[in-house]
Amino acid sequence: MTTIALPTYEDAVARYEPVIGLETHVELGTQTKMFCGCRTEFGAEPNTQVCPVCLGLPGALPVANRAGIEATIRIGLALNCEIATWCRMARKNYFYPDMPKNFQTSQYDEPLCVDGYVDVETGGKTYRIGIERVHLEEDTGKTLHVGGATGRIQGATESLVDYNRAGIPLVEIVTKPVPGLGELAPEVARAYVTELRDIIRSLGVSDVRMEQGSLRCDVNTSLNKPGAEWGTRTETKNVNSLRSVERAVRSEIIRQAAVLDGGGRIIQETRHFHEDRGETSPGRSKEEATDYRYFPEPDLVPIAPDPAWVAELKAALPEKPSAKRARLREDWGISELDMQSVANAGAVELIEETIAAGASPAGARKWWMGELARRANETGIELSAVGATPVQVAELQKLVDSGKLNDKLARAVLEGVVAGEGNPAAVMAARGLEVVNDEGALTAAVDEAIAANPDIAAKIRDGKVAAAGALVGAVMKTTRGQADAKAVRDLILARLSA
Ligand SMILES: [Zn+2]
């Protein structure tokens, strides 16, 4: 294959119209698996959470987990879907080493929830994304390729299979195709996944952690000339972060534009997104639904949720994240744009809890959106996993408000908190970081600085007040940054003005 020069993104979207679609898998946080009583804890010893049912041993019979069905219905309701009054699970037949049954229990033409929508805000505008279906299925196990450099099968000496994840309930949420976004397609795709994550998190049915794989996203992209029919789509698999959702759509638009420019044809295939290079590479050519030989699952009874139960679940849905953001925006007194960055950083609940623990809205927002967001970005982890809790951040801010810490010292204390050294007050004490407020100690330090710098002191006595900065610096040095700089300056001027 010849290499084709890539157009710029701006050039690509000026000449082609993208159509995107997103398929998102959410691992539910149920105590037990979907069709057996096995535990579902993340990170357990391999193959310790398995039984004859989820290992697909002969004669084992599945029984549906009511909590999994309930969570799926609640997701469907939160996404404005209609809930089926009767539907069945289906067998999706294919062989994969991490799927012990040789079929996945899923749903095919009878999904539990259909025809909903999500309103997504970005750049001050709202976009309605149609939801085609929300269905229930089970997760597969995990294959580990070891002995190679990359963790991929190429170059590996052994492949190991862990079935702990096999049978954990998985909800698949499929959007309708979204045309008409133009150059904003990557940004809206990201905003959609962010909103979906927040909605599902608000329901408490999953921890929706992309880095742990409990929220996984496949992105479909196609291009067409303005006015022409939609093009052939590709499916970029398992995009593992919000940022990657945006980058995957963007890079696929550029790649497809280059192929079309060169007179080539887009092949319907799955592709893999490479985080490091920001590009996709081809995977397998896409199977058709008929390849899976779907048929209704004979070992499970149909699911027929009582409409009264569904109505009850609907009435008990929590406040929508978008409504909550509007309410909090008022309470916190911040702009819509600021609220959007708070939401995008995954900081809404963290700031809310920090305020509930006694911090002011401005104080809470400052730490989560400043120092802690920076750390989360640098280390590539979610803000909620950064190592400080809302209660600790509130305590830190209280120490600042009471004058025990200045800004610089507070950052050092936070560093200790994040490093696991304990709560802010304990870190402050252990590292000796408290602001020196003791007047006697400060006066001694000031007098020492004056005595050591007679030339500067003389200048200040002559009215050159600006020279005080050098003495303040000297005092801050002897107090290891633990003095209040303004108090030190006032004290210096007072001592030298007589
Ligand atoms: Zn099991």
Q: For the segment 441-467, what is each residue's pLDDT rounded down to a tens digit?
A: 888 888 888 999 999 988 888 888 888
Distance 201 CA to ligand 1 centre (A): 26
Distance 38 CA to ligand 1 centre (A): 4
Distance 174 CA to ligand 1 centre (A): 27
Distance 54 CA to ligand 1 centre (A): 4
Task: Say how far apart CA 273 and CA 412 lie, in whole Å.
Answer: 38
Distance 39 CA to ligand 1 centre (A): 8
pTM: 0.79
Residues pairing with 223 in the sheet: 18
The DSSP annotation for 394-433 comes to HHHHHHHHTTSS-HHHHHHHHHHHHTT---HHHHHHHHT-
Distance 60 CA to ligand 1 centre (A): 10
Distance 106 CA to ligand 1 centre (A): 16
Task: Say how far apart CA 256 and CA 234 lie, in whole Å.
Answer: 9
Looking at the predicted structure, is the pLDDT value of residue 437 above 80? no
pLDDT tens-digit map of 306-346: 999 999 999 999 999 999 999 999 999 999 889 988 987 88
In the numeric block, which tokens belong to residue 361? Answer: 């809205």
Distance 442 CA to ligand 1 centre (A): 67
- The average pLDDT across 136-161 equals 89
pLDDT tens-digit map of 292-306: 999 999 999 999 999
Distance 35 CA to ligand 1 centre (A): 7
In the structure, what pLDDT confidence band is assigned to residue 196 with cuts at 50, 70 and 90? Answer: very high
**441, 447, 452, 457: CA torsion to nearest 10:** 140
Distance 326 CA to ligand 1 centre (A): 43
Q: Tell me the CA end-to-end span of the chain in Å, nearest whole number.
A: 85
Distance 289 CA to ligand 1 centre (A): 27
Task: Say how far apart CA 145 and CA 40 lie, in whole Å.
Answer: 22
Helix runs in 22-173, H state only: 66-78
Looking at the predicted structure, is the pLDDT value of residue 2 above 60? no
Distance 80 CA to ligand 1 centre (A): 32
Give the model's pLDDT for residue 362. Answer: 94
SS3 225: coil
Looking at the predicted structure, is the pLDDT value of residue 1 above 60? no
pLDDT tens-digit map of 392-401: 999 999 999 9
Distance 160 CA to ligand 1 centre (A): 19
Which residues 6+ apart lie within 8 Å of 370 measured at CB? none
pLDDT above 90 covers a percentage of the chain that reads 68
Distance 362 CA to ligand 1 centre (A): 48
Distance 169 CA to ligand 1 centre (A): 12
Distance 303 CA to ligand 1 centre (A): 21
Looking at per-residue confidence, does 201 or 153 come out higher? 201
Q: What is the mean pLDDT of the chain?
A: 92
Residues pairing with 87 in the sheet: 303
In the structure, what pLDDT confidence band is assigned to residue 350 with cuts at 50, 70 and 90? Answer: very high
* Long-range Cβ contact pairs of 103-109 (< 8 A, separation 24 or more): 104/137, 104/138, 104/140, 105/34, 105/35, 105/62, 105/137, 105/138, 105/297, 105/300, 106/135, 106/136, 106/137, 106/138, 106/172, 107/135, 107/136, 107/137, 108/289, 108/294, 109/294
Looking at per-residue confidence, does 259 or 2 come out higher? 259
Distance 298 CA to ligand 1 centre (A): 19
Residues pairing with 21 in the sheet: 220
Which of 82-86, 139-143, 237-241, 424-428 has the least mean pLDDT? 237-241
Distance 62 CA to ligand 1 centre (A): 9
Distance 449 CA to ligand 1 centre (A): 73
Give the model's pLDDT for residue 331. Answer: 95
- The average pLDDT across 196-209 equals 93
Which residues 6+ apart lie within 8 Å of 113 measured at CB? 72, 73, 75, 76, 77, 79, 81, 82, 83, 84, 131, 133, 134, 135
Q: Residue 17 phi/psi, 5° resolution?
A: -105, 120
Distance 34 CA to ligand 1 centre (A): 9
- The average pLDDT across 369-389 equals 89
**For the ranges 250-259, 400-409, 424-433, the one whose mean pLDDT is highest:** 250-259
pLDDT tens-digit map of 260-297: 999 999 999 999 998 888 888 888 776 666 789 999 99
Give the model's pLDDT for residue 169. Answer: 98
By C-alpha distance, which of 372, 414, 375, 415 is closest to 396?
A: 414
Distance 56 CA to ligand 1 centre (A): 9
Which of 24-33, 292-301, 484-493 has the least mean pLDDT? 484-493
In the structure, what pLDDT confidence band is assigned to residue 3 with cuts at 50, 70 and 90? Answer: low
